[in-house]
Amino acid sequence: MNMTTANTARLLITCEDKPGIVQAVSSFLYHQGANITALDQYATEAQGGRYFMRVEFELDNLQSRKDNLTQTFASNVAERYSMQWRLALVSDVKKVGILVSKVDHALLELLWRHARGGLPCEITKVVSNHETLRESVENFGIPFEVVPVNKDNKREAYAEIDELMKGNDLLVLARYMQILDEEFVAKWEMKVINIHHSFLPAFVGANPYKQAHEKGVKLIGATAHYVTADLDQGPIIEQDVERVSHDFTVEQLRELGQDVERNVLARAVKWHLEDRIIVDGNKTVVFQ
């Protein structure tokens, strides 16, 4: 960890939009001796809407000053504007667990980017319901666990996965082909990111690219979102599409679709790790 990282923090704020918020936050940081290095904001309406802010700043001796900084901001600024807010230190490296089944493209993209320093986190372990990808994962020096899941053992299986994943800040479903138990999802509220193909129309089942080919689609895409109890209805983080032609084969559709999936998921995970996402109901504000 370099000194810049050790002294860098991010402040994320949501509140009712009122005059003076930017001045109050920036003035507070100025009087603390902080240097603002990035500031992004968004208001839903010109007047009286919801207000969102992400501030990145540097402050000497941040680790030892965090508690005092938090308490002072709460009483001097946050209470005045009825803010929902959180302070994240860059030096507090987030821990990530990954769930996967047999298909490896999304998983390997995350492991490769992490190995190259592109994902600022610690990947603690990969859990699968199959043995298929053990060697691929362990080649990256990351622990691999298998927890079989079937219709008769779901409650016990997800209790075991919950225990294995304790201590992580985020779980990523890298093409994990199981529907998570509602109790499990509730424990990991807004801490699970999923990737799935998104077509118009939407194709469900095990072979969406074959269905897309039969339907003659002209666009294929993918969606990364937070997982909620409502299947594939959680707040969307990132989406992308690629144009395709009538002469694409099923295999060509699948290959291109998997490219979109791996990149969309990697971007969503990176933005979460960099504290760029604020969840607002069933929507997200993503500061890029």
pLDDT digits (tens, 9 = 90+) for 178-205: 999 899 999 999 999 999 887 645 676 6
Lowest mean pLDDT among 60-74, 132-146, 187-201, 225-239: 187-201
CB 43 within 8 A of CB 27: no
Count other Cβ atoms within 10 Å, centred on residue 105.
Answer: 17
User: Does the pLDDT at position 213 exceed 90?
Assistant: no
- Listed residue (142, 153, 211, 213) closest to 178, CA to CA: 153
Q: Single out the residue in 89, 124, 144 at which a domain terminates.
A: 89
In angstroms, rounded to a whole number, what is the distance separating the alpha carbons of residues 177 and 195? 11
pLDDT at 199: 61
CATH number of the CATH domain containing 29 = 3.30.70.260
Q: Are residues 12 and 116 in the same domain?
A: no
Average pLDDT in the 248-263 region? 94
78 and 179 within one domain: no
| Of 89, 116, 143, the domain-final residue | 89
Q: What is the DSSP string of 31-71?
A: HHT-EEEEEEEEESSSSSSEEEEEEEEE-TTHHHHHHHHHH
Whole-model pTM? 0.93
Mean per-residue pLDDT, 118-139: 98
- The reply to whether 66 and 146 lie within a common domain is no
Please check whether residues 249 and 204 belong to one and the same domain: yes
Whether 107 and 77 map to the same domain: the answer is no
Residue with tokens 């007047």: 47
Mean pLDDT, residues 112-123: 97
Last residue of one domain, picked from the residues 67, 89, 111: 89
- For the segment 243-260, the average pLDDT, to the nearest whole number, is 94
Q: What is the mean pLDDT of the chain?
A: 94
Return d(Cα 254, Cα 100) in angstroms, integer: 18
The pLDDT of residue 172 is: 98
Q: What is the pLDDT of residue 270?
A: 98
Give the pLDDT band of residue 231 (cuts 50, 70, 90).
confident
pLDDT for the residue numbered 4:
61
pLDDT given at position 259: 96
Cα three-residue angle 105-108-114, rounded to 5 degrees: 140
Residues 201 and 227 in one domain: yes
One domain, residues 173 and 263 = yes
> Torsion-angle region of residue 167: left (phi > 0), alpha (psi -120 to 50) or beta?
left
pLDDT of residue 201: 56
Number of domains in the chain: 2
Same domain, 52 and 71: yes
**pLDDT at site 184:** 95
Task: Convert the pLDDT of each residue in 19-78 to its tens digit.
Answer: 999 999 999 999 999 999 999 999 999 988 999 999 999 999 999 999 999 999 999 999
Residues 115 and 255 in one domain: yes
The residues carrying an active-site annotation are: 232
Can you give the pLDDT at residue 159?
Answer: 96
The residue segments making up the domain with residue 269 are 94-286
pLDDT at position 230 = 82
| 151 lies in the same domain as 18 | no
Report the percent of the chain where pLDDT is more than 90.
Answer: 85
- 112 and 233 share one domain: yes
In a shared domain, residues 110 and 228: yes
Contact criterion met (CB below 8 Å) for 100 and 174 = yes
CATH code for the domain of 259: 3.40.50.170
Residue 144: what residue type?
A: F
Residue 197: the pLDDT is 82
Residue 285's pLDDT is what? Answer: 98
